[in-house]
Structure 1
Amino acid sequence: MVHIHIPEEMIVEILSRLPVKSILKFKLVCKLWNSLLSDPRFSLVTKGREHAIFWCSGKRCFGSLDHQYAIREIPRQCWDRQHLDFVGSCNGLVLFSTYGTRYDCYSYCYFYLLNPSTRSFRGLINFGRRILYGENRITDYPVAYGFCFDKLSDDYKAIMVYYSSSSFPSQRALVFSLKRGTTLRDVSLPYMLRGTGVLANGNLHWIDVNGQEIIGGDLMVCFDETTNRFSKLPTPAVVRGGNKPIYRLGVLDGCLCMSRYTAGIYTFKCELFVMREYGVKESWATLCAISGGANLRSVRGWEPLFFTKSGEELLISGSYCILAYNVKTKSLKEIHTYSGQESYVGPLRYVESLIPLGNFER
């Protein structure tokens, strides 16, 4: 029998391109493969690994959308709570909270980390207690969130933006360390942020609702994960104008992008802009523009998710459905419609990963 020696480098290269489900099985092949796949330095090829996760309250489970339009359930029956919100996604991990409210304040709050690819999860009990009862506790229900990773300190950070009686009408932001279990910063913000921050180039981004009212002002707010500071980021000059435009942010092929939806009496228009070089105003370019009639109402407040592997179609989150936009034919089609009897949260974009959850404080 002829034995063929395959270099470890080649084995790693091949395994890094396989689906996570297959990789988990291949750990059982032999000690060498288990050692290679368990090495912290082992990383997956990221291209083509984008997914979108959403929560269905009726079924009490998560759903994950892939490039083939397939939706797979990630069942977890233990999250039988009144509300659920996504805090953010980073390095393939999803941070979310389940909570109850009373008079616009938390009555209870629990935080969890989930790796949708490996289906492992971890409750962050102490983090939830600090949110409710710590020295820098949140007194009102948060209106914006964020989740990011600081490479310099090797630490994951969660950002909570909320109103308080002492800061109203200004917002306050708390920056938490998930690994150290401490509050890193408590700051008043001159912005009005909403929703889950979009992670691009290592930083978090939101649309400043106040910025929409300022002619010539920048719409985007950026959080730097290393300095823990908020600042404005230049937006494309062409996004101004239109009848009450709706702006959303996303990430496509690693580049920050911004969508704009405007509605007329009989016509609707959707535009997508992409920042080719991060932080450079002149690098903004128009990726696509769609105009139409009532058929575009489903795209109201649209958010770009990711391209299919062929690059021919762009998956988009609309107001009540997920759509695919064909870049070549410039056509739209619905691929998933949310049931009117169900309540959905998301979708939130994430990338497949093998990152374990054992290094996070409970």
Structure 2
Amino acid sequence: MSNYIPQEVWIDILTRLPIETLIRCISVSKSWYSLITTPTFISQHLHRTTVANNDLLLVRNYSDNSKKEHYSLHFDNHTFDAYKTLDFPFMTPNHYFRVIGCSNGLLCLSDDQFCYNHTMILWNPSIRKYVNLPCPRVTFNSHGPFMHSIGFGFNVANNDYKVVRVVHLQEPWGYKAPPEVEIYELSTGSWRSVNPMGFPYVVGERSSQAFLNGAVHWVGHYPNELGGPSGSLIVSFDMGNEVFGVIMVPEGLSFPPLQSRVAVLEECLSMIHFTWSLYGDTCCVWAMKQYGVPESWTKQFTVDLKEGLRGVFGFRKNGEALMKKITSYREIDTLVSYDPKSEQVKNLGVTGSPISFYVDNFVESLVLLDLVNGEFGRQPNCGEKKMLKGKWKIEEEHEEQVVAESEDQTDERGKL
């Protein structure tokens, strides 16, 4: 029947299928495998999935008891229903990975808790594909002590994913500015240096990112003559033109710089500012209603950090804040949502260690389907070895065997 159906019709049909079905489809025939793994098909399927808007949230939590990272998908609805559990295949001797960011179903993970070892991975949990990034140019062994931050995002201009690493080398009076900047591109599989062009600011150590309008944003500061911080600002890096920029923070929130973080709230750049005092701890949330215009900063709400609440670290699509709450003397936290209108706190039923939570919007995609696992990661990763669970290796080998067998067989189903 496929002999009489135009290819564009098949593409329209296949791009409507869920991820699990498409993974099975690539074993049907050589022609189906070739079609589904093309960058064009992957992009078309991603666009259709994004438009469908399933409102999924990716949740990462870590248990000190099991020493294991847990990843799961939940519907961003009133009941926070669980959609599926994702099998995490990596192990690290440095306790756990840090999630840098998430874009089009692709996660950037970094094991950078110790400056001697630094492993980064791009991972698509929906199709169980990953790429190990090669060792960056600037390391402790090559340049000595440093502090750094990482950004991850998608460059829509050339349909490529980038990781940017901003490294401030240590000096006797503080940290050097401008920093060393290097970029990894998925299309090339390698790092390259970028000239920061006299960039005078300092991005805080492992500062959390907010990716918006094609740019990565971190909280940074302008160092004084002694090398110390002299007020907060937001540092941006455009993934397209690879240029740094600065956005001024809301008036009165510039000191001290280590009490703030950036996020995205209802498609607006937002700033979360923490205040500790004898009268009670608070967390206030600001949103920049017009991107790049400091005068458009608007205070959204303030949360009193009482009864175990630890602070805002993200948002749901309905505007509710995601927070952590201590639930026992054993320092076990629970993921909760806070409604700024009713001031009600809702338990979302996910627990973990105090610093283990990461939540972000998520869309299932086929990104990396056209690559072999670890294809760009065969270079040494700073001398550090990572272990992969055995069953993933078996499944990967089985998948390759099925595809090979399908290529050797006569395509009785017809060609597209």
TM-score normalized with structure 1 length: 0.73
Quote how far apart the aligned CAs of 1:344 are.
4.9
**Residue of structure 2 equivalent to 1:204:** 216
Alignment of 1:51 onto 2:57: yes
Structure scoring higher RCO (CA < 8 A, sep ≥ 6) equals: 2
1:40 corresponds, among 35, 39, 42, to 42
Q: CA deviation at 1:166?
A: 5.7
Closer, same or farther: CA 213–99 of 1 in aligned 2, 3 Å: closer
Gaps in structure 1 of 5+ consecutive residues = none
Compared CA separation, residues 117 and 227, structure 1 to 2 (3 A): same
The answer (yes or no) to whether the contact 2:237–2:244 under 8 Å persists in 1 is yes
The 5-angstrom pairing of residues 1-362 of structure 1 reads 20-21=19-20, 39-42=41-44, 43=47, 44-45=49-50, 47-54=53-60, 56=62, 58-66=66-74, 67=76, 68=80, 70=82, 73-83=85-95, 84-98=97-111, 101=114, 105-106=115-116, 108-124=117-133, 127-128=134-135, 130=137, 132=139, 139-140=144-145, 142-165=147-170, 168-170=174-176, 172-178=179-185, 179-180=187-188, 181-185=190-194, 187=196, 189-194=200-205, 195-209=207-221, 214=230, 219-237=233-251, 239=253, 246-290=259-303, 292=304, 294-295=306-307, 297-300=308-311, 302-307=312-317, 311=318, 314-318=320-324, 320-336=333-349, 338-339=351-352, 342=353, 344-352=355-363, 353-356=365-368, 358=370, 361-362=376-377
**Against the structure 1 CA distance between its residues 110 and 246, is the aligned structure 2 distance closer, same or farther, given a 3 Å change threshold?**
closer
Q: Indicate the SS of the match to 1:282.
A: helix
Whether contact under 8 Å (1:113, 1:123) holds in the other structure is yes
For 1:119 and 1:347, the matched residues in 2 are separated by 19
Indicate the RMSD between aligned Cα atoms, in angstroms: 4.1
State the AA in 1 paired with 2:246: K
Identity of aligned residues (%): 20
Change (3 A) 1:318 1:229: farther
Q: Aligned pair in 2 of structure 1 residues 239, 133: CA closer, same or farther (>3 Å)?
A: closer
Distance across 1 between alignment mates of 2:306 and 2:140:
49
* TM-score in terms of structure 2 length: 0.65
1:14 & 1:357 partners in 2: Cα distance? 15
CA distance in 2, matches of 1:289, 1:129: 40
- Residues 231 and 100 from structure 1, CA distance in 2 versus in 1: closer, same or farther, beyond 3 angstroms? closer
Equivalent residues of 1:245, 1:263 under 8 A apart: no
Shift of 1:245: 8.2
d(CA) in 2 for partners of 1:138, 1:357:
36
Alpha-carbon shift at residue 261 of structure 1 (Å): 2.5
Counterpart of 1:151, as a letter, is V
Instruction: Name the aligned partner's letter for residue 157 of structure 1.
Output: K
1:139 CA displacement: 4.1
Give secondary structure in 2 for the equivalent of 1:81.
Answer: coil
Contact preservation (8 Å) 1:155, 1:177? no
Shift of residue 282 of structure 1?
2.8
* Unaligned stretches of 5+ residues in structure 2: 326-332, 378-416
Distance 1:315 1:170 in 2: 36
Larger radius of gyration: 2
Query: How many equivalent residue pairs?
Result: 336
Comparing 246-255 with 47-56, greater Cα deviation is found at 47-56
**Superimposed CA distance per residue, residues 262-312 of structure 1 (whole angstroms, 9 cap, x where no aligned partner):** 23323333322222221122332233333x4632x5233x212322xxx2x
Alpha carbons of structure 1 residues 27 and 306: separation in structure 2 relative to 1, 3 Å: farther
Instruction: Give the distance between the partners of 1:350 and 1:321, measured in 2 at CA.
Output: 19
In the aligned structure 2, how far is the partner of 1:213 from the partner of 1:269?
A: 23
Quick check: 1:266–1:294 contact (8 Å CA) kept in 2? Answer: no
One-letter identity of the residue aligned with 1:56: Y
SS of the residue corresponding to residue 88 of structure 1 reads: strand
Q: Could you say if the C-alpha distance between residues 317 and 209 of structure 1 is closer, same or farther in structure 2, counting changes exceeding 3 Å? A: farther
CA distance in 2, matches of 1:13, 1:132: 48
